[in-house]
A and B are shown apart, each in its own frame.
Chain A
Amino acid sequence: MNVKSGWLDSTGLRKRFILLSLAAALVFALLLLRLWYLQVISAERYLALSEKNRIRHVAIAAPRGPVYDRNGELLVDNRPSFGISVLRQEVDDAADLLDRLADYLQVPREDLQKRWDAGLRFPAFRPMPLAEDISRDVLELVQENSVNLPGVLIEVRPLRSYPYAESAAHLFGYLGEITEAELQSKEFEGYRPGDFVGKSGLEKSLEPKLRGIAGQRRVEVDVRGKELRLLKIQDSVPGNKVYLTIDRKLQQATEAAFGETSGSAVVMDARTGAVLAMASLPSFNPALFARGISGEEWISLLQNPHHPLQNKSIKGQYPPASTFKIVTALAALKAGIANPGTTVNCNGSFSLGNRAFRCWKKHGHGRVDLKKALKESCDVWFYQVGLELGIDRLSQMALDLGLGETLGFPLEYEKSGLVPTRQWKKKRYGSRWYDGETVIASIGQGYVLTTPLQLATMMATVVNGGKVLRPQVVRRVESLGGELLGEVTPEVIKSTPLAAADLKVVLKALDAVVNEPGGTAWASRINEVHYGGKTGTAQVVRLKDDRDRKREAPYRFRDHGLFVGYAPVDDPQIVVAVVVEHGGGGGSAAAPVARKIIASYFGIEDPPVVSVPEESAEPVEGTEAEGGADSVDSAAPAVPAAQSLTPAEE
């Protein structure tokens, strides 16, 4: 080049141009190196991240399996419910949104705030639930105002529904949101936060069968979480159908029989051990839990002195009182201590050493044989015979009949009751067994404790000649398509044969309890169906005056009324155990309940009321001392009584 070469072709300048170009190339090479790292070396990782951005896995809740009674009547089902959820990504002003929602939903602002805070542990894109099972009116209101409610979604969810509300609630149990601890445990693998799981009852013990398999939708979403495209869907598999041994009508009749009183009843098929009805009163409505129970509702259930949440049929432990005389009688007959002709003269009191044990009938029963002792529930006869029999043989018979041990009922926290033995006393109290304790044990007081389920089982064992049947409540499990997945057949836990002659004597006496004048349950007889049984009145606490034991005493000190029975007498089909808590006498409180249950089972409408004979109106059984209060306290320790007073939750 010509003129300009003077300044441009200087070597220094040329060098600079070359350096400049090299520097630029170097910087670009650096950028390319980085791009190579991102787009070639790390491509797979970033592709996975971008897929994670784009694809969301949305779980489809599997409907829980329905529960039917023995006749195929639907007892527990699901119904569609509408819930309010919020996608928090789309919410700019949470406080304002919650204000509006509280207004539309008519719920306290703080409750929503709590739910909101709780929802923060969910992944950011997961809608967080704020309200469940809203009414149609509220639903419409929310829909109309959806423009002012950014991020608010209306979700349809299957909700557990209970067509018979409170009926058999303890059997079904209830659902609750899965806890953090449960999520961590192996048992709940595959569950997600927010899932509802069985917390008690059959819902809990049958959780794996009822749960079903959640489905999944793979959807493409944009950054706001809006679903753009369905990529893949995997349908949920509904939970299995469970058929129970329960008879819905009988269950309801059993509960109705209690009226306003608290307590428990178990009705079992005497031949199979199938539980036909299992009532625990007062009850609760499991639907409250299905939609998430409020704090107030929960506290009011917990603080109710009648313990509505407790399944008293398997968790309530009561002294069997005079119903235990069946055990004592059979043990005495087996041991040859007594025979049908064994007579004792009852003058209203029985002396052992310097202590006196009273009969419930103040002036005594006079000459009493085995039949009369059971029929009129004479305590003195049993004191005498029990003392001769001894605790060892008495306890053995109780155990043989199915008392003192859990029965493998498919519900959690079944209680074992208590059949005291010498070894148990030694271990528990570190002292030897006293004869006075045998005396009161022979009438089912003292240490002895039983659950209503055990009492029914005991009665069934007697009518079956010593075969202890396992009480069962699940009959069959089927897939939704009807495929049989499991069937429960009658099962004998153990069998200690009873002499036919002994049985005949005892059952004859139990027949007389109801069907002969003077029997403690004579007032509750049913002319159409002859049933037999035994009343019992369990002392909760020792009271000084007989009058106190009646209506005047504070509720929690009143006696429990008990009745165990079987029907009909000539071919037993069912056994019944009834406990009316603090209801007073077994004849006055429990037998009428049993009568209604039995009448219902046999389809007898409104059995005619029979006039109540004076003597057996309110039998007062138990022990009282005439002197030496201290020694009596040791004979009737307060511990088991206290246990029955407030049956402990697990």
Chain B
Amino acid sequence: MFDRRLLLHFDWVLLGTICLVAALGILNLYSSTSTWEMGTPVYVKQSYWLCIGLVIALAVCTIDYRHLEYLGFIFYAVNLGLLLFVLLFGKTSMGATRWIDLGFFHLQPSEIMKLVIIITLARYFDERGQVHGHTLGDLKIPFLLLGAPALLIMKQPDLGTAMLVLFIGATMALFAGIRRGTLVLLSIAGGLAAFGGWFLLRDYQKERIRTFLDPERDPLGSGYHIIQSKIAVGSGGFFGKGFMKGTQSQLSFLPERHTDFAFSVFAEEWGFVGSLLLLLIYLFIVFWGIYIARRAADRFGMFLALGVVAMIFWHIVVNLGMVIGLLPVVGVPLPLFSYGGTSMVTTMIGTGLLLNVSMRRFMF
């Protein structure tokens, strides 16, 4: 069953780049949490997660992604069920209900949903075949496929993940092609929905958006994160303060510095030069992902790869936009850089899918 050609066509470039970023991330975590004394150091734990992630990525490689095409809808149905289950019986932590307690592991169906929606939409657009441009009527089904989980996730509430699911879906739909008139209509509808959505937001979510627009209105409260993150990034200057020498992070002025604001630590210590380098590597991953999509053996593989690229891309953009004060604080991690098992596993499954599509580009 095992084809030698698979090994031959294995995408070492992608895996290497991914590992490079993950290594930088672990280095960065080493610096940002060096003053912490309790328990296993965060960078060690992140290393474990990286290993687990790599194993998962390789495992994902071994099964031909084309099996996912017919499994897609089953995944979708099961996951939607899980989201409903979470809403009814989920584990609550810090005001949000996002997890299912499996005893040894906290399952977060919203994270899985990002991947499932990629598979589902890839199958949908694959089956639609080559269309010159989708009309509003054509988009009914993807809209429903996207809307149901997004609403459930928003209800948890987890604005960041819900937005990401929508962004991923929108990117895929956009690539599949939408008629110009329909696009204009959708833009208007989206604008109105955003306006109306304001009233559906929870108070803390509204507060975050208000604070984003004017962080100084509560510099010690909800504006604190943005202000301190901007100070950290800006004070890094061109060349940075040096590894382990970032005062904002080392002296704990920067909150969440090992998770959502990990990039601020990096930017403070490595300066604009470091930020530029890291962004170029991320951009390279995105481009490489697009390249994989372009070379995919079939339309399903192409959409699958595009979906994964969109997921990684939007994570990067939303997270960076947040820590440098371009977007509100929504709690989206930076792939491979922020500490966290869930984010690492999701990213690595995505990487596995990319590798999968990439190595099977000559197989039919």
Contacts and interface: CB of A to CB of B under 8 A. Distances in A.
Given A46-B230, A224-B252, A31 B317 contact: yes
B175 A40 contact: no
Contact of A7 (B130, B252, B271, B326): B130
Nearest to A21: B290
B294 A17 contact: yes
B251 to A, nearest CB: 4
Interface in A480-499: none
A228 B253 CA distance: 14
Given A28-B283, A31-B279, A32-B276, A223 B130 contact: no
Residue from A3, A20, A32, A54 having most chain B Cβ neighbours under 10 A? A20
A42 B294 CA distance: 40
A27 B283 CA distance: 10
Closest 5 CB pairs of A and B: A46-B234, A50-B235, A43-B237, A39-B272, A223-B252
A38 B287 contact: no
B276 A35 contact: yes
Interface string B228-272: 101111111110000000011001110000000000000110011
A39 B231 contact: no
Contacts of A224: 252
A50 B248 contact: yes
Interface of A is mostly: helix
B248 A28 contact: no
B271 A39 contact: yes
A523 B121 CA distance: 120
Interface of A: 3-4, 7-8, 10, 12, 16-17, 20-21, 24-25, 27-28, 30-32, 34-36, 38-40, 42-43, 45-47, 49-51, 53-54, 124, 220-224, 228
B108 to A, nearest CB: 27
Contacts of B320: 31
B290 A34 contact: no
Contact of B234 (A28, A38, A53): A38
Given A28-B279, A46-B231, A8 B251 contact: no
Nearest to A220: B251
Interface in B200-236: 220, 228, 230-236
Contact of B237 (A40, A51, A220): A40
B299 A7 contact: yes
B364 interface: yes
A43 B177 contact: no
A54 B302 CA distance: 50
Contact of A21 (B177, B248, B287): B287
Contact of A223 (B177, B251, B283): B251
Contact of B290 (A24, A39, A53): A24
Nearest to A52: B231
A58 B206 CA distance: 39
Contact of A46 (B233, B275, B293, B326): B233
Given A40-B272, A47-B237, 7 more contacts: A24-B313, A28-B282, A32-B276, A39-B238, A43-B236, A53-B228, A53-B231
20 contacts: A3-B364, A21-B290, A24-B283, A27-B313, A28-B283, A31-B317, A32-B279, A35-B276, A39-B236, A39-B271, A40-B272, A43-B234, A47-B235, A47-B237, A50-B235, A53-B228, A53-B231, A54-B247, A223-B253, A228-B251
B321 interface: yes
Contacts of A222: 251-253
